[in-house]
Structure 1
Amino acid sequence: MSNDFELDATSLSPELARAGTAMFFHATHCGDQQAFLDAAVACVQYALHCEACVVRAERGQYRVLAATSPNLAPPDDLLADVLDQQTAAEQGDWSVALISEKKTVLDLLCLQGSTLAAAEMTVTLLASATHTARKRLARVHRIARLEAILEIAASWNQTLEMDELLVQMAETSTQLLQAERASIFLWDRGTRTLVGRPALGVDGDELRIPQDTGIVGHVVQTGETRRVDTEEDQREIDRRVDQQLSFQTRNLLCVPLRGRNEKILGAFEMINKIHGNFTAEDESALVELAAHAAVALENTQQREHLLQSRNQMADHAAAGIELIGS
């Protein structure tokens, strides 16, 4: 049953109408999704004088996201029936209706001590308020991430040494995207290798692999972004690298580093999202980070080349003075 968020306001009781207004208020003011859900079930309890909870069904498991009382446990067979039939149902003093429909995650509103009709009307209000809350929180989170990325980029552009810059990039990106590790692979076309730094557990903190190795090789060769989830076929992940690093890759996100004129300099890879898999939002953030990283890397490389040239010129001049005075 698809929820289109449409409900005739005249069909609502005054209590339920007030609950809907309160839910929309919380949807536009709560600081996170959990706070909204906690407030929403409290609104339902106040309006209908019943117990209420929101349950998430994911990969065959049920998890209570928010509840008006501890230990609320709607019957599993009722939850399964609502999911199978995609329609609201009741059993005993429980009424259950589907809030959202996603590919792998389904949320249900469960009422104890109310009616099926009330559950069906309430779930439409809750679905609409939930949609509003998610959109607003996603927008707030996106703005906060962009601000963080700009601060990170400014810091990178003040770093003058390549090794220090690469370490900064790995550290700040893992914090921002909540990942266990990050590596920046620079493409050495002359030796047909990818040089990954930092590489924890490897002598010299540098990992060298053939330019066509695994996911990172594919990204560098094609310029495509790749995301591999924990549940997906992981044959493309090169386990030899894991063995070399004494590390287990569960999931990863890898994007190309594009320099001036869209020339591919290498790849920016994040490994093992701390909670779940990398998301489309994570991918967008890493693409943005990679753009700033490429600029900082090219600028730092240019500074190092200029410094090296200046030192060479100074050495030659000093050698010339010695020859003249000899």
Structure 2
Amino acid sequence: MAILIVAEHDNATLKGATLHAVSAAAQIGGDIAVLVAGEGCQAAADAAAKVAGVSKVLLADNAAYGHQLAENVSLLVAELGKDYSHILAPATTTGKNLLPRVAALLDVGQISEIVAVESADTFKRPIYAGNAIATVKSLDAIKVITVRGTAFDAAAAEGGSAAVEAVASAHDAAQSRFVGEEVAVSERPELTAARVVISGGRGMGNGENFALIEKVADKLGAAVGASRAAVDAGFVPNDMQVGQTGKIVAPELYIAVGISGAIQHLAGMKDSKVIVAINKDEEAPIFQVADYGLVADLFEAVPELESKL
């Protein structure tokens, strides 16, 4: 068997989500190739070549892939993917945008957000917002799969010595063009990679009150997240949302402040190692999954917590 992993990168560095996909591929078994498609992305390809377990890196360096538009990259992945038994990508916004297009081009089904590998053709994935786990067997000749990163340990970023091969194919679907991007810049860790995450919900009242948990986050070296209710209310930007329709996180410590614990939110954080909940409603569902719960007014408890740290 041969497995192709579509790398996630910013043309300069390899994103951590790719390392989790490599671990999933290693459990499937077979030779692992990593595709780095971008523009001026030699550094990202070199980083991929050092990842333990990777046997080959395919470098598609072309202006058509400069902003990694799914319309263009999917054509490349579908072309190269015909020579592989499995095509994997992290289940991030990028992977979720790309791989369904690849599956359609190859006329095969997609298996989304696997959390376990049973065999080369059988996988486990969450359904019903994570309340049930489905075991799925694929009979397709090519398995197209997205990988939930929180379910697999990251592969070692060093230790490999894969060869880097250039790919000449350039596909421009002429269906879309890159207009611009607004990138959130923060000194705090990335939400999906942080060891500690502290999130606020509707109970925060407004966006200005998020400063309370930001002070705690700064002392803990934590990332700051939010529930969908807080995002929909306009308290904080969309990229801070944790949940089924937001980001999936599994930090060592997750602190939920003023979050009731709706199913949608729990789906994005219940795999955290230790969960701490602060809520004045003792009947809040979040306490059912929390390892530690504090029934208190967050406007009193959070400043006190910050003062003790």
TM value normalised by structure 2: 0.26
Higher helix share: 1
Compare relative contact order (CA 8 Å, sep 6+) and give the higher one, 1 or 2. Answer: 2
TM value normalised by structure 1: 0.25
> Which has the greater radius of gyration?
1
